[in-house]
A and B are shown apart, each in its own frame.
Chain A
Amino acid sequence: MSRVSVPCHVKGTVALQVGDVRTSQGRPGVLVIDVTFPSVAPFELQEITFKNYYTAFLTIRVRQHTSTHTPAKWVTCLRDYCLMPDPHSEEGAQEYVSLFKQQMLCDMARVLELRLILRQPSPLWLSFTVEELQIYQQGPKSPSMTFPKWLSHPVPCEQPAPLLEGLPEPSRVSSEVQQMWALTEMIRASHTSTRIGRFDVDGCYDLNLLSYT
């Protein structure tokens, strides 16, 4: 399915914490990232991709455009999606993730704003976030082709003249020949990727030193 990237503005992360940030001992376990789309009209969200960095659970809230005069409300479209099966260990910590509209709890049409709520309950990690955030909407559908009428509705062929005894039907022969031809074409078209196995350049393998780059 084709998709088109939507330019977005990712606001700075806001940590949610009880009490005064400066005096409390622990690190925040909840971060909020707001994503706005300043130059884009409300669109239908197709896919969200990002690279995880030690976030354990992700919740996404969406604010959609409503046609009536009621103010747009925030709705949770993804709740506590698990990115790291064990928040204390590295599995899933730096993985690339895609989320599709089919996984969302609500309809993702006419998106105005997104709010990503990141949670990392483990005290082992110094920081956590999501990186390389990309939002996609559905791309244009492939243009439907209109066939000329004679191609889509072929004229029914007339009955062929009765055959001589002993000869096979021409239609059957032609279909068999066509199968053989298709098989030949298929085999010819598939290239075997042969392993060359040469490590030298034109017979020369005189080397000085190893390269560091």
Chain B
Amino acid sequence: MLQEESDLSLIIAQIVQKLKGSNLYAQLERQAWASLQRPEIKLESLKEDIKEFFKISGWEKKLQNAVYSELSVFPLPSHPAAPPEHLKEPLVYMRKAQGSWEKRILKSLNSMCTELSIPLARKRPVGEQKELLNKWNEMGTDEPDLSLFRPVYAPKDFLEVLINLRNPNYENGDSLSFRTHLGLIQVPLKVKDIPELKEFFVELGLTTGQLGIDDSTQVPPELFENEHVRIGQKVLAEQDSAAAQQYVRQGSPTALRAELWALILNISSQPEDILYYEQLKTNVIQHDLLVDSLIYKDVKLTASNDDYYFVFEDYLYQVLLCFSRDTSVLGHFAYSSASPPKSYIRGKLGLEEYAVFYPPNGVIPFHGFSMYVAPLCFLYHEPSKLYQIFREMYVRFFFRLHSISSHPSLFYHLREIGAQPLRISFKWMVRAFSGYLATDQLLLLWDRILGYNSLEILAGKILAAAVFAFRAVNLMEVTSLAAAEAVLADLSTLKVMPLLQIFLFATVT
């Protein structure tokens, strides 16, 4: 009991400290000062009157949403003796593996630099700055020569690292059952079993209405859809983050989705946010980074070739180039197992005053990275809002998909899949299925990621296994690996929610 109380006070103190630096704090302060003019605020009961005013005017709700948002990403309170690296990742061998993986990425980027004789970063000459500013809204029309650039890594490289991950204290002898040789992942992490998954995902049950199932044309809308939409509108009117998160577990109506996601992620486009985005844009204009070319190449290779997303090509540059310069993203490294790459100003190697992070946001994009942004373009058309939503999605969820950690989200479940299926399905998971599922299905899936504040729904046992079970009939007919891959590779006609429901609730285990 004593420990829990002191943990709670610590969490409260840390959240208060964090919120003190936010726009909301400044706004609340201004509102409190302004409210002193009001007749109902009396000096002798100042504190209570201002609290009451905040409640009535909706400011208390905004504060609640902000606290809820902080709690969603807050790491669990840790032991006072635990060093910071322990907070990032408690298991030492995983920390080391992540460290080696990062070093490989750095070497790859450095060798690209030296081979192509291109600096990591340079200041753009004024003429070039003007040119870029002029074509900011149509950067897609540019056709720079990117043939010499190659992506720093692809999901399959990351999979190789995971496969070779070994706990040095783990018994790998012959006396163990042969089952461990079937799967590729050799790490003994605890996974939720089916009963636990059923409890965690209870809102996906057979008796609960779902968008993606109960809104199909055969089902009359009076049964579920109309009421669900009505509730959604009410949730938006209340502006309650927690209620919105609970609501989207059953799927979000298309018309309400953009607002609901913004409410859950606690994004509201304030003038300060738009100014911040404009500042990032200025940074893009002034400095040219090597990672910009990697981003260009990635967009050209992936999103531009996709039937659904090629129209958003310009938006993708506007978001990703700014993302690379956003130092506020560095904050997520406190709870990620990854660390941002470091560099020194030219000629000042080793001098700490001249140490910087590269890129400024510490995130090196890999092959397929732009697909994290692409689906969001369907929901948000204003660049600064699109940017904020993507950034929040990244620091809450997507960063876990490409770093090695014992956090119970991603590859915990990968142990359950056999070798060959894993090689095929892994890239789906790293991209959160973006570019593989049809967009409407993808958005239904991402509804649940936001609703449960967890990536587990992407993970092996639930989705990929369900996919394979679904395709079992087709797979029986193929005779070669290539044909099998072709059968499995096409997820574009897949309906996600029925599969999830069947696998979680309708199969006998």
Q: Are B2 and A102 in contact (CB under 8 A)?
A: yes
Interface residue tally for chain A (C-beta within 8 Å): 54
Q: Is B357 an interface residue (CB 8 A)?
A: yes
In the docked arrangement, what's the CA distance between A102 and B2, Å? 10
Q: Tell me which residues across on chain A come within 8 A of B78, comparing CB atoms.
A: 96
In the docked arrangement, what's the CA distance between A17 and B81, Å? 33
Q: Is B122 an interface residue (CB 8 A)?
A: yes
Q: Are B169 and A54 in contact (CB under 8 A)?
A: yes
Q: Tell me which residues across on chain A come within 8 A of B86, comparing CB atoms.
A: 96
In the docked arrangement, what's the CA distance between A124 and B171, Å? 5
Q: Are A211 and B344 in contact (CB under 8 A)?
A: yes
Which of B65-73, B102-110, B305-313 is the contact stretch? B102-110
Q: Are B120 and A210 in contact (CB under 8 A)?
A: yes
Q: Tell me which residues across on chain A come within 8 A of B326, comparing CB atoms.
A: 197
Q: Is A80 an interface residue (CB 8 A)?
A: no
Q: Are B79 and A207 in contact (CB under 8 A)?
A: no
In the docked arrangement, what's the CA distance between A90 and B325, Å? 37
Q: Are B342 and A210 in contact (CB under 8 A)?
A: yes
Q: Tell me which residues across on chain B come within 8 A of A180, comparing CB atoms.
A: 43
Q: Are A195 and B21 in contact (CB under 8 A)?
A: yes
* Chain B positions 6 through 37: 1 when the CB is less than 8 Å from some CB of chain A, otherwise 0: 00000000000100110001100100000000
Q: Are A206 and B29 in contact (CB under 8 A)?
A: no
Q: Tell me which residues across on chain B come within 8 A of A198, comparing CB atoms.
A: 327
Given contacts A125-B169, A193-B20, A195-B21, whether A210 and B328 have CB atoms under 8 Å apart is no
Which listed residue (A53, A90, A94, A213) contacts B188, Cβ 8 A?
A90
Q: Are B171 and A125 in contact (CB under 8 A)?
A: yes
Q: Is A66 an interface residue (CB 8 A)?
A: no
Q: Quick one: which of A101-139 are within 8 Å of B by CB?
A: 102, 123-128, 132, 134
Q: Tell me which residues across on chain A come within 8 A of B91, comparing CB atoms.
A: 90, 93-94
In the docked arrangement, what's the CA distance between A209 and B342, Å? 9
In the docked arrangement, what's the CA distance between A53 and B86, Å? 13
Q: Is A88 an interface residue (CB 8 A)?
A: yes
- Please give the distance in Å from B101's CB to the nearest CB on chain A: 13
The winner among B90, B187, B346 for most chain A CB atoms within 10 A is B90
Q: Quick one: which of A166-213 are within 8 Å of B by CB?
A: 172, 175-176, 179-180, 183, 187, 190-201, 204-213
In the docked arrangement, what's the CA distance between A128 and B342, Å? 36
Q: Is B92 an interface residue (CB 8 A)?
A: yes
In the complex, the chain B residue whose C-beta lies closest to that of A194 is: B21
Q: Tell me which residues across on chain A come within 8 A of B17, comparing CB atoms.
A: 193
Q: Quick one: which of A134-159 are within 8 Å of B by CB?
A: 134
In the docked arrangement, what's the CA distance between A207 and B188, Å? 41
Q: Are B44 and A98 in contact (CB under 8 A)?
A: no
Q: Are B113 and A209 in contact (CB under 8 A)?
A: yes
Which listed residue (A94, A96, A134, A179) contacts B43, Cβ 8 A?
A179
In the docked arrangement, what's the CA distance between A209 and B3, Å? 46
Given contacts A206-B123, A210-B120, whether A199 and B110 have CB atoms under 8 Å apart is no
Q: Tell me which residues across on chain A come within 8 A of B357, comparing CB atoms.
A: 199
Q: Is B276 an interface residue (CB 8 A)?
A: yes
Q: Are B354 and A201 in contact (CB under 8 A)?
A: yes
Q: Is B137 an interface residue (CB 8 A)?
A: no
Q: Are B110 and A210 in contact (CB under 8 A)?
A: yes
In the docked arrangement, what's the CA distance between A128 and B356, Å? 40
In the complex, the chain A residue whose C-beta lies closest to that of B346 is: A206
Q: Tell me which residues across on chain B come within 8 A of A175, comparing CB atoms.
A: 44
The winner among A127, A132, A190 for most chain B CB atoms within 10 A is A190
Q: Is B129 an interface residue (CB 8 A)?
A: no
Q: Is B368 an interface residue (CB 8 A)?
A: no
Q: Is B46 an interface residue (CB 8 A)?
A: yes
Q: Are A208 and B346 in contact (CB under 8 A)?
A: yes
Q: Are B44 and A127 in contact (CB under 8 A)?
A: no
Q: Tell me which residues across on chain A come within 8 A of B188, comparing CB atoms.
A: 88-90, 124
Q: Are B171 and A207 in contact (CB under 8 A)?
A: no
Which listed residue (B103, B171, B327) contacts A197, Cβ 8 A?
B327
In the complex, the chain B residue whose C-beta lies closest to that of A134 is: B81
In the docked arrangement, what's the CA distance between A124 and B168, Å? 11
- Please give the distance in Å from A160's CB to the nearest CB on chain B: 20
Given contacts A201-B354, A206-B122, whether A89 and B90 have CB atoms under 8 Å apart is no
Q: Tell me which residues across on chain B come within 8 A of A82, comparing CB atoms.
A: none
Q: Is B96 an interface residue (CB 8 A)?
A: no
In the complex, the chain B residue whose C-beta lies closest to that of A128 is: B169
Q: Are B356 and A206 in contact (CB under 8 A)?
A: no
Q: Quick one: which of A48-105 are within 8 Å of B by CB?
A: 49, 51, 53-54, 86, 88-91, 93-98, 100, 102
Q: Are B343 and A209 in contact (CB under 8 A)?
A: yes
Q: Is B420 an interface residue (CB 8 A)?
A: no
In the complex, the chain A residue whose C-beta lies closest to that of B359 is: A199
Given contacts A123-B171, A208-B120, whether A201 and B345 have CB atoms under 8 Å apart is yes
In the complex, the chain A residue whose C-beta lies closest to that of B187 is: A90
Q: Quick one: which of B245-294 are within 8 Å of A by CB?
A: 276, 279, 283, 287
Q: Tell me which residues across on chain B come within 8 A of A89, comparing CB atoms.
A: 188-190
- Please give the distance in Å from A164's CB to the nearest CB on chain B: 21
In the docked arrangement, what's the CA distance between A7 and B450, Å? 50
Q: Is B167 an interface residue (CB 8 A)?
A: yes
* Chain B positions 319 through 345: 1 when the CB is less than 8 Å from some CB of chain A, otherwise 0: 000000111100000000000011111
Given contacts A89-B189, A95-B90, A125-B171, whether A190 and B346 have CB atoms under 8 Å apart is no
Q: Are A90 and B189 in contact (CB under 8 A)?
A: yes
In the docked arrangement, what's the CA distance between A206 and B289, Å? 10
Q: Tell me which residues across on chain B come within 8 A of A194, comparing CB atoms.
A: 21
Q: Tell me which residues across on chain A come within 8 A of B406, comparing CB atoms.
A: 90
Chain A to chain B contacts (Cβ below 8 Å), 12 pairs: A49-B79, A90-B167, A96-B78, A98-B80, A180-B43, A192-B20, A196-B327, A201-B353, A206-B122, A207-B119, A210-B358, A212-B106
Q: Which 9 A-B pairs have the closest CB atoms?
A: A199-B360, A96-B79, A193-B21, A89-B190, A207-B120, A176-B43, A96-B82, A207-B343, A210-B106
Sample of 10 more A-B contacts, CB < 8 Å, known A197-B327, A206-B345: A90-B167, A95-B90, A96-B79, A125-B171, A180-B43, A183-B46, A187-B29, A199-B356, A199-B360, A210-B342
